[in-house]
Structure 1
Amino acid sequence: MSIPLPFRKSSARDRARQDWIDERRREARMVVADVAHHSDYLVRLACKVLVQHGETFEEREDARILLVVLDAKTPGRLPAPDREGRS
């Protein structure tokens, strides 16, 4: 939720932007709520939306934690090992 600035009138463009963000937030919540039926890529994208635009601190923090879990389970996102097999 954005806070209107006192020195600036709200315009139709601002309202349209906020409506767009609200719709993306709603879609992200649906993906996270049904995480077992969505790809890691889509869940990661939804979490990034919620980390950036979540309405509460708890929502943003939960999305951030889920991102950490996804990163931990996806070995392809880790640095490649060197010649001796170390990362």
Structure 2
Amino acid sequence: MKPHLSVRKHSARDAARTDWIHERRREARAVVADVVHHSDHLIRLACTVLVQHGETDEEREDARILLVVVDARHPGRGNHRPDPEVGS
């Protein structure tokens, strides 16, 4: 009987992980859709999520390209726009 219980735990954990990934992907898409109002750090984070977990090849490639563009704007990555939520 224990193997059955173990399978159930893995199934619940897998379902929770899948839900968590879907939620992060939804948040990442929202950031990318409104890129003008978010810090470079948050944009990089959103792009990284979409590069790794995007649903289509096109979505993953678009996120990778946006990541390159954001990094090219500030090659040192130390001169990024300040995050308005954190302050300067």
Provide the TM-score with structure 1 as the length reference: 0.76
Letter in 1 for 2:14: D
2:37 matched residue in structure 1: 37
**Inter-partner Cα distance in structure 2 for 1:14 and 1:37:** 34
**Inter-partner Cα distance in structure 1 for 2:56 and 2:75:** 31
Gaps of at least 5 residues in structure 1 are: 1-7, 79-87
Runs of 4+ in 1 over 4 A off after TM superposition: none
Gaps of at least 5 residues in structure 2 are: 1-6, 79-88
Paired-residue identity, %? 77
Q: For this pair of structures, how many residues does the alignment match?
A: 71
Provide the TM-score with structure 2 as the length reference: 0.75
Please list the CA deviations of residues 2-58 of structure 1 after superposition, one character each: whole Å capped at 9, or x if unmatched.
Answer: xxxxxx886011000000000000000000000000000000000000000000000
More helix by share: 2
CA RMSD of the aligned region, Å?
1.8
